[in-house]
Amino acid sequence: MPTPVIRLLRLTGRLLLALTAIAALIVVFLALIALTDGAGGGLAAWLTTLGVGAGLAMWRARHRTWPTRLIPFLPVVVAAALTATVCIPTVPTTRQYPPALPFVTTQHWNLSTGSRVAVYHYRPAKSGPRHPVPLVYLNGGPVRGISVLDHRFLQLLARQGHDVYAYEQAGGGRSDLLPMDQYSISRSVRDLAAFVDRLDKGKVDILGFSAGGSVLTRALAEPRVAARMNRAIIAEPGPMDGPTAHISGHKGRESARGLAPAMTGPRSTHVPRYAVAFGLMRLGLLTPDTGLIGQAEGDNAFTAADLGSDTASAYCARDADRIPTEDTEQNFSFSPAASLRIQQTVKDSPSIAPQLKRSTTPTMLMIAECSSQLRQWATAILAHDPAVQRTQYMPEVGHRIWNGLDDNNARAAAVITAFLQDKPAPLPNYPTRDEIPAFLRDHK
């Protein structure tokens, strides 16, 4: 075999060996990140990996002459440089709150629970009839800022005579952070009760969307909290307790997931530090209060583009090519760690069905045709809450029932207003409790 070919094969072999060594050290580093829960911002795992790599390199270099002794250290240097990027913050590590919105005043209320939340108030239109009971909005997330799309819908409700209050739940948007171990679904319910007490306007109507619907459902199961409510609207709820969180089932009609163009914009998951942190958290290999990145840093880093296909899943397949921009880059806020923490407390909670069966608060359930939520999450509420007076199956919309497309906002507002004013429903009462089996069987 010609000498140049032999040299090329040897060089290729050494290169492959070096790449294998680099990959092995990176795997060791990631395993140590998980084992140490990111202690010291990942520095503990990085130093250990560097020590292991240096030790092996010294062992391999022990019989070599001087210049070639450095060769085994090259993969260690490369691996150290690559893994060091996981240990270096690229955004501020103290919370950078979104700037004030130009169209509504942001207030901050200190609740009796210790939470400090951002509050928004849309006064009812001066002309036309006014609904006498204040309406409180609980947004989805959990631990996500209220989007501009939601603010526009709240403005519409105010123009129709509702006195609308909304607050960003602790840790979300412009609300102050909590210590990670204080986030829980129970804390969210206590904050809701404390908010209504702080509002001090008697009983209120409450509209809970998505994760906010889960909070509202659990509040209905607690008599002392439910006593503060006049009427409740649960829109596209998440799971209400551990049994429903672990249930298997199906979703609504086809959504735009996999059909819509990929979201544009910067992604924190393109940065090694946050790709590793959020990825391992999602896999359950890092705890929400990991030492790798702090809560504030994670909030600052996470962008709307990081939601990926989750946004598209909230729209019908027919709307795949016209999904609206839900929020501005400046206003978007999501706390991935706190969100995972609250979701885990839901999964770990016992059934609330026995308590929900004693609910007496008049309630309406809103279900979207192209929902990305499991149908069983909504039908469990309908089955167990005897105070659900009507269900409104919203055609031609996805999980984002009010999305600014066509007349969807007006249709959602009409359904909400009719129930709050105890007027006939714009849509059939469907499904009823008796129709739940057929509704699930037909994969509606």
pLDDT value at residue 444: 85
Q: Which of 4-8, 108-112, 193-197, 325-329 has the lowest mean pLDDT?
A: 4-8
**Which tens digits make up the pLDDT trace of 352-407?**
999 999 999 999 999 999 999 999 999 999 999 999 999 999 999 999 999 999 99
State yes or no: pLDDT of 88 exceeds 90: yes
pLDDT value at residue 421: 95
pLDDT value at residue 262: 86
pLDDT value at residue 13: 66
Strand-strand pairing, 116-122 and 135-138: unpaired
Which two three-digit tokens encode residue 369?
């045709």
State yes or no: pLDDT of 349 exceeds 90: yes
Average pLDDT, the chain: 94
pLDDT value at residue 15: 80
Task: Indicate the DSSP class of residue 395.
Answer: E
Strand-strand pairing, 135-138 and 164-168: parallel
**Which tens digits make up the pLDDT trace of 15-70?**
888 788 889 999 999 999 999 999 999 999 999 999 998 898 888 777 777 777 77
- % of residues, the chain, pLDDT over 70: 97
Distance CA 245, CA 238 (A): 8
pLDDT value at residue 5: 61
| Cβ atoms 355, 221 nearer than 8 A | yes
- % of residues, the chain, pLDDT over 90: 84
Q: What is the CA radius of gyration of the chain?
A: 26
* CA 408-410-411 angle, 5° bins: 65
pLDDT value at residue 58: 86
In three-state secondary structure terms, 73 is helix
| Cβ atoms 217, 208 nearer than 8 A | yes
How does residue 6 score in pLDDT terms, banded at 50, 70 and 90?
low
pLDDT value at residue 8: 62
The mean per-residue pLDDT over the stretch 240-264 comes to 93
pLDDT value at residue 9: 61
SS3 per-residue string spanning 332-394: CCECHHHHHHHHHHHHCCCCCHHHHCCCCCCEEEEEEEECCCCHHHHHHHHHHCCCEEEEEEE
